[in-house]
Amino acid sequence: MPYPILDPTGTTATRTTRPPRARRRRDLRGATVGLLVNTKQNAAPFLDEVGRLLIAKHGATGTMARTKVNFAAPAPDDLVKEMTTGCDVIITGIGDCGSCSASAVADGIAFEAAGLPAAAICSDAFRVTADAMAELRGAPGYRYATTPHPVAVLTADQVKERAARVLDDVMNLLTEPE
Amino acid sequence: MTPAPDPEEAQAAIEYCYAQGWSDGLPLVPASQPLVAKFLATTSKDPDEVIGELEQVGRNCTVYLAAINAAMAGCLPEYFPVVLAAFDALMRERAARGGGWQSTSGPAPMIVVNGPVRHELGFNTQGGAFGPGFRPNATVARAIGLIVRNAFGIRPHVLEQATQGLPGRWSICLAENEEESPWPPFAVDGGLQPGTSAVSATLLRTCEFVDNRHTPDPGQVLWDVADTISRTGSLIFRDTSAGVVFCPEHAQMLADAGFSKQDVQAWLIEHCGRTGADLRRAGKNGLRGIARFADADTSQDDTFSRILPSPRHIPIVVAGARNAAISMVVRIFGEWSGTAGPVGVSS
């Protein structure tokens, strides 16, 4: 063949270094829990309830909730900085759409790099896209918590029940050494 | 006479492209360096210039990658300035820079071409405006889809999470029927001079026809359009955006009755909307911020809520044949930036 067929993707380099993972805490006693809410329906009450349970059952002292205005994009640097300064661990979610599931995972990876253990929570319908984003960020196999799809239609009581169900996974993500 | 190409070689090359995962499902034209060089020769831009970036996935598109994808889509080299202008136009849309390509709604670009370039390159400006059947219209739109797939790496079932997607996702490229439109070209609404070869673009969630060919009353036609725009199914936020691609007959009927494009937009802003009771029946009467939700409150049942906040939320294009009074409501994903870009000029 005189000429090769050209590659339309422009991808040649593959990352070899894994991004850093924050040191895990032994427990959450005395910790401030950062809640990064992505504005998806039920995300705020879901994360609030997870925060409340971490205080009630695991000795966290408080929460600091912030809202990410653009759910599709990773959290802006100043927001990451503010939460890294004010919090000890981060919970981000709810990944419940094509772009926001991926970006919830990207946020988790960004907070890990900033030194904070993070737990991203995604609806289980978006595992593939969340995993793909982890790979793009050089963190293949990045672990996050899932809750069954759908989330947006849940009542207030159902949201609380879901938060309780995901709590052990969130704790494990925040405290378990890899 | 030039001998016919070897079909087995061609088939092997096509299958090679499939095997690499580059295809949108249909056969691709295998791109070679001499072919891509012809594309690059149509623009003054540097092949390495980055023309689009998708921050959240850490990918970008250069002029060179766009050329490869345009060649693979079946474009002729001379279409390439239109592909670049279309891509540029889309990258001005907030929804396309954000999570639009990854979205569960699976939106389609709608590309609108204006000016002399339509005829110079043989775009279809007449019947069957939404396709198929015409190489420039079909391949320019497809080139954008291949750029998103290959250069940005947004592939179905992976980073692309369309629940159902929509018909025509990478195939809507209208060349406005300026010759039979009573109004200024769409690119003028986007801020350019009449007669400019230009491309505008936005993202659509779907299209729905308005078939109204039995009334001589432009008011009745507008009511029919308004009813279609006002469906609850597409309402997810307080406001919405819906364009109208008028057929020449409807556009001329309206113009003959004294309606400018701005008059039509003002009429639709006034009349598109639903009552609180209608919205409540569909579980969309409540507002949390700008998002609609099901609220048990019935106090607003008799209140009429308008849904189109400004003329920019109702872009109006004229396209298609003058053979029937059939227009199209196009449901816009997010909102149109209100800009058009000239073909062959860097932004």
CA A41 to chain CA centroid, Å, is: 16
What's B31's DSSP letter? P
Reported confidence tier of residue B153, pLDDT bands at 50, 70, 90: very high
Q: Kind of pairing, strands B286-288 and B291-293?
A: antiparallel
Among the listed residues B245, B265, B253, the one whose alpha carbon sits nearest the alpha carbon of residue B218: B253
Give the C-alpha separation, B146 to B155, whole Å: 10
- Phi and psi of A135, rounded to 5°? -65, -45
Instruction: Flag whether pLDDT at B135 surpasses 90.
Output: yes
Chain mean pLDDT for chain B: 96
β-pair partners for A117: none
Residues 60-99 of B with CB under 8 A from A: 60-62, 64-65, 68-69, 72, 98-99
Which residues of chain B form beta strands (DSSP E)?
50-54, 59-62, 108-114, 173-175, 198-211, 242-246, 273-275, 286-288, 291-293, 304-306, 316-318, 326-332, 341-342
On whether any CB of chain B is under 8 Å from the CB of A132, the answer is yes
Average pLDDT of B57-85?
A: 97
Reported confidence tier of residue A13, pLDDT bands at 50, 70, 90: low
- Give the DSSP H or E segment for A66: strand A62-67
Residues A75, A81, A83, A84, Cα dihedral to 10°: 120
A84-143 pLDDT, tens digit each: 999 999 999 999 988 888 899 999 999 999 999 999 999 999 999 999 999 988 899 999
Q: Which among A3, A5, A124, A153 is the top mutation candidate for probing chain B, defined by the most B β-carbons within 10 Å of its own β-carbon? A: A5
What is the pLDDT, as a whole number, of residue B122?
98
Among the listed residues B39, B343, B337, B24, the one whose alpha carbon sits nearest the alpha carbon of residue B201: B337
Q: Are B327 and B218 in contact (CB under 8 A)?
A: no
> In terms of CA atoms, which chain B residue is nearest residue A11?
B151
Q: Tokens 């009927």 — which residue?
A: B253
Q: How many C-beta neighbours within 10 Å does residue A164 have? A: 13
Among the listed residues A3, A136, A13, the one whose alpha carbon sits nearest the alpha carbon of residue B16: A3
> In the structure encoding, which two tokens stand for residue A155, read together?
């009542």
Q: How far is CA B7 from CA A6, B3, B13, in A?
A: 20, 12, 10
Of residues A5, A10, A103, nearest to B32 (C-beta):
A5
Q: Are A53 and A167 in contact (CB under 8 A)?
A: yes
% of chain B beyond a pLDDT of 90: 93
**CB distance A106–B34 less than 8 Å?**
no
**Smallest Cα distance from A15 to chain B, Å:** 12
**CB distance B150–A9 less than 8 Å?**
yes
Among the listed residues A4, A19, A26, the one whose alpha carbon sits nearest the alpha carbon of residue A176: A26
**CB distance B161–A5 less than 8 Å?**
no
What is the pLDDT, as a whole number, of residue B347?
46
Give the C-alpha separation, A133 to A9, whole Å: 17
ipTM value, please give it. Answer: 0.91
Among the listed residues A125, A132, A167, A158, the one whose alpha carbon sits nearest the alpha carbon of residue B59: A132
A145-174 pLDDT, tens digit each: 999 999 999 999 999 999 999 999 999 999
> In the structure encoding, which two tokens stand for residue B234, read together?
């597409």
Give the C-alpha separation, A6 to B69, whole Å: 10
> In terms of CA atoms, which chain B residue is nearest residue A152?
B293
> In the structure encoding, which two tokens stand for residue B32, read together?
């070679």
**CB distance B57–A133 less than 8 Å?**
yes
| Helix B135-146 × helix B80-91 angle, to 10° | 50
Among the listed residues B144, B149, B153, the one whose alpha carbon sits nearest the alpha carbon of residue B59: B153
**Smallest Cα distance from A2 to chain B, Å:** 10
**CB distance A8–B151 less than 8 Å?**
yes
- Which residues from chain A sit within 8 angstroms of residue B103, using beta carbons? 97-99
Among the listed residues B81, B12, B52, the one whose alpha carbon sits nearest the alpha carbon of residue B153: B52
CA A132 to chain CA centroid, Å, is: 14
On whether any CB of chain A is under 8 Å from the CB of B346, the answer is no
Q: Global pTM?
A: 0.93
Q: Are B101 and B93 in contact (CB under 8 A)?
A: no
Helix (H, G, I), strand (E, B) or coil at B293: strand
What is the pLDDT, as a whole number, of residue A72?
84
On whether any CB of chain B is under 8 Å from the CB of A123, the answer is no
Instruction: Flag whether pLDDT at B166 surpasses 70.
Output: yes
- Which residues from chain A sit within 8 angstroms of residue B151, using beta carbons? 8-10
On whether any CB of chain B is under 8 Å from the CB of A70, the answer is yes
**CB distance A72–B99 less than 8 Å?**
yes
Of residues A5, A99, A103, nearest to B13 (C-beta):
A5
On whether any CB of chain B is under 8 Å from the CB of A154, the answer is no
**CB distance A5–B30 less than 8 Å?**
yes
- Which residues from chain B sit within 8 angstroms of residue A8, using beta carbons? 22, 31, 65, 68-69, 72, 146, 150-151
On whether any CB of chain B is under 8 Å from the CB of A137, the answer is yes
Q: Are A105 and A142 in contact (CB under 8 A)?
A: yes
- Give the DSSP H or E segment for B69: helix B63-73
- Phi and psi of B212, rounded to 5°? -140, 90
What is the pLDDT, as a whole number, of residue A12?
66
**CB distance B99–A126 less than 8 Å?**
no
